A = this chain, B = another copy of it.
Amino acid sequence: MNRSRAIKEFKEIIKKSGLKYTPQREKIFRVILSTKGHFEIEDLVHRIRSKNIDVSRATVYRTLDILKKLGFVNEVIKFKNKTIYEVALKEHHDHLICRKCGKIIEFHSDEIEQLQNKICEEYQFKPEFHRLEIFGLCKDCQ
């Protein structure tokens, strides 16, 4: 999905949810869309500050919460007490996380997804979403 399409959809969905479409929310979402890969909220706040966009920290936190609930971002992991997010516009994937340099590599495996579904059936568990993180050393850090 491209950027302007995403913003349009954000606007529609936010209104459909009975929420207000404010300049702050759009600005925050735009900055997030210009992010490649993963981000944490404090980085987002700093990026916003450096662009002289006047949105308060509190609003950033509150907006992230909405974006998460509406499915525009995913919470990837809590790392050292900070929450790391990603834009949810791409296909589902999982993560290889280098515990030395912190690099995050994305991958996807249909086979693993299928096995997960099989397991959920066994336990009569209704899966909604999942997270698979493999920690270790990347090529460069070994």
Binding site for B on A (CB under 8 A): 77-78, 81, 96, 98-99, 105, 107, 109, 111-112, 115-116, 119-120, 122-139, 142
Instruction: Please give, as numbers and ranges, the residues of chain B lying within 8 Å of A109 by CB-CB distance.
Output: 115, 119
Instruction: Please give, as numbers and ranges, the residues of chain B lying within 8 Å of A130 by CB-CB distance.
Output: 132-135
- CB within 8 A of A139: which of B123, B133, B134? B123
Q: How far is it, in angstroms, between the C-alpha of A75 and the C-alpha of B82 when the chains are bound?
A: 15
Give the number of copies in the complex. Answer: 2
- In the complex, the answer to whether B105 meets A123 with C-beta atoms within 8 Å is yes
- In the complex, the answer to whether A139 meets B115 with C-beta atoms within 8 Å is no
Most buried by B among A81, A127, A136: A136
- In the complex, the answer to whether A107 meets B119 with C-beta atoms within 8 Å is yes
Q: How far is it, in angstroms, between the C-alpha of A48 and the C-alpha of B111 when the chains are bound?
A: 44
- In the complex, the answer to whether B112 meets A125 with C-beta atoms within 8 Å is no
Instruction: Please give, as numbers and ranges, the residues of chain B lying within 8 Å of A81 by CB-CB distance.
Output: 78, 81
